[in-house]
Chain A
């Protein structure tokens, strides 16, 4: 969660404790829902008829600082108590350690609106499920500094990952790396042919290392470019969602095929032509033949529609991603729950926060 945002949102619910984070440009959102069974004791508190359960957010660094050295914590801490004291304005974390030592941390918190990205995995046209290890091995071929990666489907049911080259970069100067995974490396594949999405690799890596450490399979739900991609992990006591905005394809004029695009040219018959390996030949000629989806050309620069977000403005403007990024912000509503379809509005409108209460 700290790889995504600087603030940790704590939302106790009847179904468990939800920990959430969002990044400053609102293009990445993650939530970890710990079921009551995960805890030795779970009391979400009582909500009155008019009020909801208390929510708050704390500084990520303060919270993480309490759990700084995991190996030594595992050796010395017997129990951890998390107590939310609204009236005292404190989130209390108490570590009960060996030899009768108790460490009590009092964190200041801020009240907040419910943080919820609007997404619906049921409405995603494509879904992939793979062991975390497979995806981790795939991602290792890309440099740590790479910002965005494109996930796509190719001939023969293969799934590809390719580094995304910004349109400002010169195609003849940038190295392009592409990895192909066979369908049977995945636990399940249900994808719309020719589909592809581009998302931020950095935020995904964070979830991937968690998934690898917990040995959980990762499911990727995606749809058309521009619609968010949802990564989920499921366990008996834990439900994880990571929602990332994706780059939208805008209409473009005919352009020369970009290095990032599906090539529509037949295999070249110039001096460099070669008897390509049968695999590569199949790749290139079938890509050339498919008249299907438009090539993911570099979107034109269009200003993003102004998005109002009352809460964000109250807290003071935070610098978002640089203006040339064309990722749409995710949509944040105050009362939407995942699983239910979002409001049937056009994509340009952010759901307004409901007035007033916390």
Chain B
């Protein structure tokens, strides 16, 4: 099992660093899955996470100048590691002026991801900072726990409003209630609602647009037979939603959510080089 990668371009490094920071805000511990072409950050929906789960996928070619990996075996050419993304985020944070960043899987006393940052210095040799991030190697028999979640059979799919606006609304609502209701319909309307003994607050967004999803028979999902005005709602933990929104440092190219009424809300945030899916289960 081997892994080594190198980033030389500063813009790629900063972009990668921002993604890791976003992941760190969503998960205390997560799985890093390495394949020849892609990196995945996975959080599975265990009870410990409050049932929330995450799937983040990026193409290594968009970030790394060198990327070599050899999985556990030829026919299972992948590596699954458990790590604390905050450690990786910290290691990359002070690398902003780096000449190069190398990441390597090592096993000196215990498996670690060694991040070596080469920094410019006024002296003849560069300054080198190494961060040894402890990781856990996930054995192959457990890989099935971390498969890509399928898109749920949703009632409504809708594009999200500008995330910054949504974030400031949710942040204020968080002071009043622990739970928030997201409801939306197929006419581009989305409401965020909280209700307590003393107060109820609803923020209405309209004209958001509903993304077209191809149905199984290949045709565009037809709106016929569906009530365009009826709202599908789910009540979720407001902190999870706030964490998701707070972690977004760059506006995604596309942001949408799929609501299965009273069951789950599935958020999809797409950027040019990275896609993030986040599932928040509804509170019973």
In whole angstroms, what is the CA distance A279 to B116 when docked? 11
Distance in Å from the Cβ of A313 to the closest Cβ of chain B?
43
Chain A residues with CB under 8 Å of B260's CB are none
The answer, among A173, A179, A182, A274, for a CB contact under 8 Å with B134, is A173
Q: How large is the interface on A (under 10, 10 to 19, 20 to 34, 35 or more residues)?
A: 20 to 34
The answer to the question of A257 belonging to the interface, with a C-beta cut-off of 8 Å to chain B, is: yes
In whole angstroms, what is the CA distance A279 to B157 when docked? 53
In whole angstroms, what is the CA distance A356 to B6 when docked? 67
B106 and A141 contacting across the interface, CB-CB below 8 Å: no
Chain B residues with CB under 8 Å of A271's CB are 1-2, 107
B83-108 CB mask vs A (1 if < 8 Å, else 0) is 01001001100100000001011111
B132 and A179 contacting across the interface, CB-CB below 8 Å: no
Chain A residue with Cβ nearest B128: A180
The answer to the question of B214 belonging to the interface, with a C-beta cut-off of 8 Å to chain A, is: no
Q: How large is the interface on B (under 10, 10 to 19, 20 to 34, 35 or more residues)?
A: 20 to 34
A138-159 CB mask vs B (1 if < 8 Å, else 0) is 1011010000000000000000
In whole angstroms, what is the CA distance A185 to B120 when docked? 11
B90 and A175 contacting across the interface, CB-CB below 8 Å: yes
In whole angstroms, what is the CA distance A140 to B90 when docked? 11
In whole angstroms, what is the CA distance A174 to B127 when docked? 23
Distance in Å from the Cβ of B101 to the closest Cβ of chain A?
12
The answer, among A172, A181, A183, A277, for a CB contact under 8 Å with B127, is A181
In whole angstroms, what is the CA distance A176 to B132 when docked? 5
B127 and A274 contacting across the interface, CB-CB below 8 Å: no
In whole angstroms, what is the CA distance A184 to B123 when docked? 6
B102 and A277 contacting across the interface, CB-CB below 8 Å: yes
A176 and B131 contacting across the interface, CB-CB below 8 Å: yes
Max chain B Cβ within 10 angstroms of own Cβ: one of A176, A183, A272, A279? A272
B107 and A272 contacting across the interface, CB-CB below 8 Å: yes
The answer to the question of A265 belonging to the interface, with a C-beta cut-off of 8 Å to chain B, is: yes
Chain B residues with CB under 8 Å of A274's CB are 2, 4, 104, 106
A175 and B87 contacting across the interface, CB-CB below 8 Å: yes
Chain A residue with Cβ nearest B113: A175
A185 and B123 contacting across the interface, CB-CB below 8 Å: yes
Chain A residue with Cβ nearest B131: A177
A182 and B108 contacting across the interface, CB-CB below 8 Å: no
In whole angstroms, what is the CA distance A179 to B90 when docked? 14
B121 and A182 contacting across the interface, CB-CB below 8 Å: yes
The answer to the question of A178 belonging to the interface, with a C-beta cut-off of 8 Å to chain B, is: yes
Chain B residue with Cβ nearest A176: B132
Max chain A Cβ within 10 angstroms of own Cβ: one of B108, B111, B116, B124? B108
In whole angstroms, what is the CA distance A263 to B123 when docked? 27
- Tell whether A171 pairs with B110 under 8 Å between CB atoms, given A143-B90, A177-B130, A274-B2: yes
The answer to the question of B129 belonging to the interface, with a C-beta cut-off of 8 Å to chain A, is: yes
Give me 13 other A-B pairs in contact (C-beta within 8 A), A176-B132, A270-B107 excluded: A141-B94, A141-B129, A172-B110, A175-B132, A178-B129, A178-B131, A183-B123, A184-B124, A257-B109, A259-B132, A272-B107, A277-B116, A280-B116
9 closest Cβ pairs, A-B complex: A272-B107, A172-B110, A184-B123, A176-B132, A175-B87, A185-B123, A182-B125, A179-B129, A182-B123
Which residues of B are in contact with A by a Cβ distance under 8 Å? 1-2, 4, 84, 87, 90-91, 94, 102, 104-111, 116, 121-125, 127-134
Q: List 8 A-B contacts (CB under 8 A).
A: A141-B129, A143-B90, A175-B84, A176-B132, A179-B128, A184-B123, A185-B121, A272-B106
Which residues of A are in contact with B by a Cβ distance under 8 Å? 137-138, 140-141, 143, 171-185, 256-257, 259, 263, 265, 268, 270-272, 274, 277, 279-280
